[in-house]
Structure formats: C-alpha cells, structure tokens
A and B are shown apart, each in its own frame.
Chain A
Amino acid sequence: MASVASVVKAFSFFSLRPHEPANLNPTMLWLSLHFPHLALEIYARALSDPALPLLVSDIQGGRQRVHARNRAAANAGVVPGMALGAAEALLTEHRVLPRDEAAEYAALERLAAWAGQFTSTVSLVPPQGLLLEIGGSLLLFGGLEALRTRLQEELRALGYRAAGGVAPVPLAALLLARAGHSTPVLEKAALPAVLGGFPLERLGLDEAAVAALRGMGLRQLAECLRLPRHGLARRLGPDVLAHLLRIVGELPDPRAAYVSPPEFRSRLVLPAEVDSTEALLFATRRLLLELTGYLRARGAGVSLMQLSLGHRGCPASRLELGLLTPTRDTNHLLMLLRTRLEPFTLPAPVDELVLETSQLTALPDENRMLFGEERTPQTQGDQLLDTLRARLGADAVHGCHVVADHRPERAWAHCAPGSAVDSPVPSVRRPLWLLDSPEPLEEVNGLPCRGGKLHLLGGPERIETGWWDEGVTRDYFVAEDRQHAKLWIFREHRNRRWFLHGFFG
C-alpha cells in the first residue's frame, strides 16, 4: 500500500531528527472549542425560561432513552441514559425533543461562521468541536486571556457552553478541550508531558484501535510513543500511528478551513410554543448575534433580511426588513425587529424561527475605526428612517420638494427624505399650510365667508394653466377672517365658487 509506505517513510524521516519542527509554522496556536451539550443547547437556547424541564431523546437498542437533559430536569433526578418513560414519570410539565444530529451539525457550521470574526482559519470537527487558529489574532484581541473571556461571554450570549483547549497543534488542542484541560499549552515540546498521561480512550482513536493497543498492554499515550514506531505501524496500521504522532505534533495535521456560505440562514426550533413578543425577541436576539458574528467575519453588513415565524398548522408569518444603510449592529437590528413585532398580531403561537439574509454589502471593519462603531449624523439619520419605516410603513415617511407647476397643489411633491434638490423659490406669496383638497366656502351675496365675512387683503392672482390635463383657472386672494386668521382662498373661474386652499400658519 502506497500510503503505508509514505507514512513509514515520513515517520523515519522525523525519527532521524526528532527535535526538528514538523513542518509547522512556529507562531501557530490552536484553540479548540468543544460543545459537550450541543444536542440540548440547539433547543434550550431558544427558550428564555430555564425552569421548564427539557429532555432530548434518542433511540438505543430499540428503546427510547434520555440522551441529554437540562438543569431543571436534572434537578428532578433525570440522568442521561435513563429510559424515557422512567424520566417522564419524574417530571410533571416538560418537553421531550428528538435528538436531531443534522440540526447539531448545522449549529456547528453556524458557530464556525460566527467564529470567523476571531480568525481567518476555522475548521469543523464534528460532531462537537471547532478549531480556531489564533496565533495571528492574539495581538488583535489583547492576548489569550482576553480572547478566551470574550469567546466565553459571547458564546454564553448565543446560548452555548464550550470547553476550550489551547495547543500549538490542532489535535492536541482538541483533546485538551474534550478533557476539560483548560491550561493552555504553548510549546510543542511540552505536549508529550501534558498529554502523555492521557488514557487511550481520551485520544480520539476508534474503539478497534483502543482495543488493539490495550491488547498490547498499553494504557497511556506516553507508553505508545515509547514503542518502536516501525512495529507499531505494522501492527496497527499507519493511520493509528499517524494519529498518535499528530497529537504530539510530530506529523503535520492540515485542516480544511471552513468557508461560510454567501448568504446567512439560521433556524431555531422553539421547544415550547411562544406567543409573547418578549419571548420571541429573546430567541430572535440569539439568531441576530449569530448573524452579526457572521457579518463581522465576512466584513459585511446586511441591508435586507427576513424573519419567518413558523406556526403549527398554519403558514409561516414573514417579516421583511429593509435597511437604508447596511449594518451589523445587533441592538439596532433587534430594535427594528421589535418595532415590527410589537404591533404584529400572530395568527398562532410560534414554534420555529428562521432568520435569512440576502443582500450583503461590504462594510469596513470596526477595528480600523479608532472609537468603535461610528455614529455620524448620516448613519443616525438613516437609522431613524429605518426605525420609523419599520413600524409605520414606508408610505408614512417622506421628504418633499418643489415642482415647477403653476397649479398650487402640483407645485410640490413627496420624495424620498433627503433627496430634494434645491430649486428656484417662487416669487409669489404662498401659505405654509396647504389643504389636501380645497374646501368649499360659504358665500353671502357672492362673497366668501368662514365664521363671518372674509376680508380680502391681497389679490387677485390669476392662475390659469394645465389645460393639457386638468385645467385650472382660479383667482387667488389672501383673506383674513374675523379672528385674524389669514387664509389663502380662490374663486373658481368656471363656476364662480369660492374655496379655501391654505392657511398662512
């Protein structure tokens, strides 16, 4: 077998010069995140109320059993591995959720996309692990301890708990994380000492390999590494030996970097149906945090996103959100969704949330901005427009501009806010208030009245135009009523009727 020969050759190459670094960049440092509770957390993170007992069930040997449970269920005496029926007997109100390995994998992928904000190299180690190469980003995040604290806090905000391990080689970092060994190992030379005492079961080997090594009377990694490697390779196959050597960094261990998809989509199943806005926003916030991490990783902002609320037994409600300025500000997005959700009437309780985005736009990195996210009048103005539009609808928010038309009601028009161009100012006197449509005035002896006779102060101004569509022939006057309000009135030429058209407010 060619691979056997090449590994043996590689091995002999290294064994000749054991202290030579194995093709590793000396500044590389790997941080592994291990998510031991992923099966539970994909459900539990959607729930704001931790008091509801949750059970995740799987089928083993044809029997339903408890695969994972939350603290509320554990307090009632439920332990993993217990028959589901027995566990349910211990609980009154609770939820049983099927183990969903596909959803766990999807969650791990989204975590990888989110983790891209900390490093350019993230790789997936299913079912429960991630590897982050952090050698290059330590300085940026203010050192290992600062990075770890930040990861821990942000993961908690996402609803995940992770164990971390740090080592100069990926496999060692992974094993340290799984073992809950949180002291970072920074030197490759220290790896055999730290990991040497690990039992065979903790080395990430398959059961057959563990059994074979045990059959040889071995218990720990250190004992394996002391054996002549030629013989080990022959007896166990080259893969097992290569695995053992990768743990201590004697063989290169290239990892495929995860590449996040060009569009974001995240689905959250709510373990208990929800109909309160606050509970929905709690779950939505967790999705938004995933989204903004993903956006930071891609150096992008979002300008269009969609939240679907799934209901049992009726079609999903869809909320679409368009933004003027692309953003990745979690609080702003949450506030916009809040303004959309609050007046929204749910047709039925919600059992699933899906957040999707298209239209990503490049957005510069905040790290390059000295004082964090910039809040210029421009972005503040756009954020206000987004907020108002989200709640009131786009047709309730306008700007206005002057139109070159002699008909007063057509001498202006709505436009997008901020888009009006400076135009020539009319040289005639105009009122500050214009009525939506002219209001007929009472008449006494052909003279206009409004709570008494109107006193004409100025006019007439003949406006005669628009014969090509809606012809207008009017004589406009400035009038004052008895309470000193100044009005803008006109007499229609056609029927000699008087109308009120505006106020000199």
Chain B
Amino acid sequence: MNTARPFFHTVPTGDDVLALPAPSAPAQHVPGLETLLQRPDVWRGRARTPQSGFVPTGHPALDEHLPGGGWPVGALTELFPVREGIGELALLMPALAMLSQGERWIAWIGAPHCPYAPALAAAGVRLTRLLLVQPRAARDRLWATEQALRSGACAAVLAWPDRPDERALRRLQLAAEEGGAIGFLFRPERAARNASPAALRLTLTPGDSELVVQVLKCRGGWSRGPVHLPRHHTETRPKSANEREREKSC
C-alpha cells in the first residue's frame, strides 16, 4: 500500500488560522476590531459556510484530506473521473450505504448505465431508498437534479447533467443548500478546467490497482497532494461468510 500521507497531520485548518484567541487580555488591547470587521470592504475567509455538516466518505485517508472530514452536506461535489469503470461509484458507496439507512431518497438522475441492484445491495445500500430518474430530454436532467436537490427529500443526489454552464451550477448549488442534500455531479474530465461554485471538486484517475483522488478545489481548505485509495478498499466486494457471521453477532 503506497498511500501518500501528508507530512503534517497537525496542519491547522482554515478555521484555526483565522480564529481569534480567547479574550484573556482586556478588550482595549484590540480596539476597534469589531468595527473594523463590520466594514463591508473587509473580506473574511470562511465567512460563509452554508453547508450544514459533513458525511464521512468511509475512506479515512480521503477524510483526512477534506476540510470537514467528509462529503459536504448542502453543497455540490463535482467528480471528474477520467473514464468509467475505475471505481468512481465505489468511492461513494460507504457514504451512500450510511445515508440509505435514513428516511430520505438517494436519487440517481440520468445515469449512463443501470446502477446494478445486486452490487448496490452488496455494498450495503438499502435499495428501498433508491430513486432512479431517467429523463428522456437532456434539459430535463438539469431540471430534475435541481428539483431533487431542492426538495429536502433527498439525502444525496447523483447526477450526470448535460453540459451545465456556470449559471446552472450556481442554481444547483443553491438548491443543494436549500434542500440540505449532497449533490454529486459526475462530469467529463475536460469540464474540470471551467470555474464552478461547487464546494468540492475531485478528479479521479486510476493507478495500478488504486484510485487516485486529487482535490482541485475545496471550500474552506486548500488542495494538497493526491490521495491514493487502494482499489480493493473502494470496491464493493461480497462479504465473506466469516464477516457476515461477525456482523450478525455484533
């Protein structure tokens, strides 16, 4: 396992950097700070964090890399797999398995192939929470994605939108904020160059029996080196009889 780890595990997050020390010193030592911060031309890092939390990805190495320690809830996450079949869905399975235990839908909108029910079930996803939406017209994919994100009825929305422009992405981002959903957008790799309001953007490339995840952008943090996730970790594999026994006894 050649997972590259960052040198410093204690790198402060953006929050820690900007957080003020506890006011142990008398207040007059920082005169006018509050007034200064009230000024409209003063920009504060991380002033706006609408997302309401994070859901662990289920891959500890990746969680360590992401500022909140997981997929941002109430925001868009863009995924740019270089091609299909490299473990791009398997990356999401631990989170989807967890989210499917709740009451809300996991919506798939405009998927390129059939999400295969036996494999999903094997990954621990409760099929009864799946909502598969196949709009005939390409423009309806964007519409359906926005509806699903905004409805508040979806824990996660996986969507394959048809060439959304920045305005469309902004609408989806707002819809995700409103509905408190995790919006996973699967997009072709070439789209990674364009600007986007998504909270998290990841390129996915296959390595030798591993999936290499590179953070292009993450709100409230900065991109560090790539994360190497061993393929057998990200893959859905049937549990052995032993494992199943162990789970039952737990």
Contact = CB atoms under 8 A, between A and B. Distances in A.
B71 interface: no
B132 A414 contact: yes
B114 interface: yes
Contact of B122 (A384, A426, A435): A426
B49 interface: no
Contacts of B132: 397-400, 414, 417
Contacts of B51: none
A445 interface: no
Contacts of A414: 132
Interface stretch (A81-89, A291-299, A385-393): A385-393
B226 interface: no
Interface string B115-144: 111111111001111111111100010011
B142 to A, nearest CB: 12
Contacts of B209: 484
Nearest to B123: A432
Given A388-B144, A418-B128, A505-B113, 7 more contacts: A381-B103, A392-B133, A398-B131, A417-B105, A420-B130, A484-B86, A503-B84
3 closest Cβ contacts across the A-B interface? A484-B206, A485-B85, A503-B85
Given A392-B136, A399-B128, A436 B119 contact: no
A436 B113 contact: yes
Contacts of A399: 127-128, 130-132
Contacts of A420: 117, 127-128, 130
A329 to B, nearest CB: 14
Contacts of B82: 483
Contacts, number: 178
* Of listed A385, A425, A426, A436, residue having the most chain B CB within 10 A: A425
B236 interface: yes
A433 to B, nearest CB: 4
A414 B114 CA distance: 10
B207 interface: yes
B209 to A, nearest CB: 8
Interface in A372-414: 375, 377-378, 380-381, 383-385, 387-388, 391-393, 396-402, 408, 411-414
B84 A505 contact: yes
Nearest to A412: B117
Classify the interface of chain A: helix, strand, loop or mixed: mixed
Given A375-B152, A384-B147, A502 B116 contact: yes
A431 B241 CA distance: 20
Interface of B: 82-90, 93, 102-105, 112-123, 126-136, 140, 143-144, 147-148, 151-154, 206-209, 231, 235-239, 241
B118 A384 contact: no
A487 to B, nearest CB: 6
A426 B121 CA distance: 8
A430 B144 contact: no
B143 A433 contact: no
The interface centre, meaning the residue of A408, A429, A436, A505 with most chain B CB atoms within 10 A of its CB, is A505
A412 B89 contact: no
A427 B238 contact: yes
Contact of A505 (B90, B207, B231, B239): B90
Contacts of A425: 118, 121-122, 238-239
B187 to A, nearest CB: 15
B90 to A, nearest CB: 6
Contacts of A400: 115, 117, 127, 130, 132
A422 interface: yes
B208 to A, nearest CB: 7
Contacts of A434: 113-114, 116
A374 B178 CA distance: 18
B22 to A, nearest CB: 39
B119 A432 contact: yes
B130 A391 contact: no
Contact of B131 (A391, A411, A417, A422): A417
A455 to B, nearest CB: 11
A419 interface: yes
B83 A483 contact: yes
B143 A401 contact: no
Given A381-B105, A432-B116, A433-B115, A426 B87 contact: no
A402 B206 contact: no
A385 B104 CA distance: 12
Contacts of B89: 432-433, 505
B211 to A, nearest CB: 9
A381 B130 contact: no
B105 A504 contact: no
B137 to A, nearest CB: 9
A483 B82 CA distance: 10
A392 B135 contact: yes
Contact of A402 (B83, B102, B127): B127
A235 to B, nearest CB: 72
Interface in A472-496: 481, 483-487
Contacts of B130: 399-400, 417, 420
A421 interface: yes
Contact of B128 (A388, A392, A422, A436): A422
A504 B90 contact: yes
Contacts of A431: 116, 119
B238 to A, nearest CB: 5
17 contacts: A377-B153, A383-B153, A384-B148, A387-B151, A397-B131, A397-B133, A412-B116, A414-B132, A425-B118, A429-B236, A432-B119, A432-B236, A434-B116, A436-B114, A484-B209, A505-B84, A505-B113
A504 B85 contact: yes
B113 A503 contact: yes
Contacts of B237: 429
A392 B206 contact: no
Contacts of B87: 486, 504-505
A276 B148 CA distance: 27
B90 A432 contact: yes
A483 B206 CA distance: 7
B118 to A, nearest CB: 5
A102 interface: no
Nearest to A398: B132
Contact of B147 (A387, A419, A484): A387
A367 interface: no
A487 B151 contact: no
Contacts of B127: 399-402, 420, 422-423
